[in-house]
Amino acid sequence: MSVQTIATGDARHRVSPPGLLFAALGLAALFGPFMTLAANRIVAGEGVSIWAVAPPSLTLPGVVAVLLGLVLGLPAVWPRLRLLGAVLGLGGLLWLLAQGAPAMLEDGGDYARVSPAIGFWCLLTILMLLMADALAQLAPGPLMRGALLAAVLGALALILWSGALSPLSVMQEYSSRRSAFIDATARHLQLAFGSLATAAVIGFPIGILCHRDQRLRGTTLPALSFLQTIPSLAMFGIMIPILGWIGDTVPGAQAIGIAGIGFAPAFLALVLYSLLPVVANTVTGLAAAPPTAIEAARGMGMTPGQRLLRVELPLGMPVILTGLRIVLVQNIGLAVIAGLIGGGGYGTFVFQGLNQTATDLILLGALPTVALALVSAIVMDILVELTRPKATRTA
């Protein structure tokens, strides 16, 4: 038997260290409370183990799927099998939620609420990390990653549309606030994406000028860095008196929405936070163009504007888009704090839930924020990958 054959055989029996860790953590999570049953939406619920959320005939398929998902994550050299295991495990978790919620509510009373507990959230996190590890090992190209993301979002939308998870408390919170949730979603998107677009319109020209002028760069970047050091809540607070004064003294300012509280101070604060990543990455991206390419363009008789549009910007686009990715994910999270000053968005539900000690109302704001940030990060990563030269792209 050759050395290569022996090495191949040994590799096939290798155990993935992350997979082993995930399996151990997942087994431990199986013995924690999987769901909680509360008398109403405010009081603390009583934890129920994964084995007792529904009759054994209903829980067994879900538990088996979760265990198989953890076991299939062990082989180091079969990333597709590990990915399949993660999907299977996630399907098992959804099955247990869908079967457990109505079973637990049967004798719970008219105001009873059922929610996922720590065991569910731990298993969800573990299986998602297992999926991410398998995808990192597979290293799919940008188009394949886009297709996988579309498939996941489509499956999630189908599950929510089917009503299988409607007995859960967070879905009941959504049902009673459907119109407010739609408005909050629109406002959150306006805050996150609108501030990104505004910062890009302002920051790109400043970045180009800073790239051309070293003295301007030496004063602009430190000033923008100082803005980043101001805590987000303090920044929102600073905007309140400034815009409040403008709204009271400038004719017509309040008519276009400029006031001390509400959308305007939150939006302006997010724009200020966004300028440093946009400007700094624009400068870095433009500086990444090889000197030989610049000299070749100059030798061809290109003007500075033509060199910028045809050479420097295309070569620096991955770095520039990386700055936009940072801004977008940052602003999606910071927009939650806008709920404190009447800016709307998902933060409205988060702070209402904190005031009412209603955990599921907090989740109604937190979960879509996390999902939006994850989807946005993945989409921006795909765009960054597509703008790279083909020779440097992931296979």
Tell me the three state secondary structure of residue 46: strand
Report which residue type is found at 297: A
Q: Which residues contact 142 (CB under 8 A, 6 or more apart)?
A: 381, 382, 385, 386, 393, 394
When the pLDDT of each residue in the chain is averaged and rounded to a whole number, the result is 86
Give strand ranges (E) for the chain: 33-38, 46-49, 113-116
Q: Which two tokens stand for residue 309?
A: 């549009």
Let me know: does 273 contact 233? Beta carbons within 8 Å. Answer: no
Find where tokens 């997979």 sit: 19
Give 49's strand partners: 33
Q: Which residues contact 340 (CB under 8 A, 6 or more apart)?
A: 233, 236, 347, 351
> What long-range pairs does 152-161 form, CB within 8 A, spacing at least 24?
153/375, 159/94
CA-based angle 307:310:312, to the nearest 5?
65
Inform me whether the pLDDT recorded for 373 exceeds 90.
Answer: yes
Per DSSP, 114 falls in state E
Tell me the three state secondary structure of residue 49: strand
Q: How far apart are CA 202 and CA 194, in angstroms?
A: 12
> Positive or negative CA dihedral for 104, 106, 108, 110?
positive
Q: How far apart are CA 210 and CA 204, in angstroms?
A: 10
Q: What local confidence, expressed as pLDDT, does residue 5 receive?
A: 43
Q: Which of 33, 57, 37, 56 is nearest to 46 (CA)?
A: 37
Q: Which of 115, 121, 109, 257 is nearest to 190 (CA)?
A: 257
Q: Which two tokens stand for residue 349?
A: 């539900």
Q: How far apart are CA 104 and CA 387, in angstroms?
A: 51
Q: Are strands 46-49 and 113-116 parallel, antiparallel or unpaired?
A: unpaired
Ramachandran angles phi, psi of 360, nearest 5°? -70, -25
Tell me the three state secondary structure of residue 116: strand
Inform me whether the pLDDT recorded for 184 exceeds 60.
Answer: yes
Q: Which domains does the chain have, with CATH numbers?
A: 3-138 (1.20.140), 178-392 (1.10.3720.10)
Inform me whether the pLDDT recorded for 7 exceeds 50.
Answer: no
Give the predicted TM-score (pTM) of the model.
0.87
Q: How far apart are CA 331 and CA 281, in angstroms?
A: 17
Report how far apart, in Å, the C-alpha atoms of 226 and of each of 50, 74, 146, 219, 332 are: 50, 47, 37, 11, 21
Q: Which of 313, 332, 321, 323 is nearest to 383 (CA)?
A: 321
Let me know: does 228 contact 273? Beta carbons within 8 Å. Answer: yes
pLDDT digits (tens, 9 = 90+) for 27-66: 999 999 999 988 887 777 788 899 888 899 999 999 999 9
pLDDT digits (tens, 9 = 90+) for 337-357: 888 888 888 999 999 988 888
pLDDT digits (tens, 9 = 90+) for 69-86: 999 998 888 889 999 999
Q: Which two tokens stand for residue 116?
A: 């996922």
Ramachandran angles phi, psi of 48, nearest 5°? -125, 135
What mean pLDDT do residues 322-337 have? 91
pLDDT digits (tens, 9 = 90+) for 101-147: 898 888 777 788 899 999 999 999 999 999 999 998 888 888 899 99
Let me know: does 349 contact 177? Beta carbons within 8 Å. Answer: yes
Count the alpha carbons within 13 Å of 214 in the hemisphere toward its beta carbon: 1
DSSP 77-120: S-HHHHHHHHHHHHHHHHHHHHHHHHHHHTTS-TT-EEEE-HHH
> CB neighbours (10 Å) of residue 81?
14
pLDDT digits (tens, 9 = 90+) for 189-216: 999 999 999 999 999 999 999 988 888 8
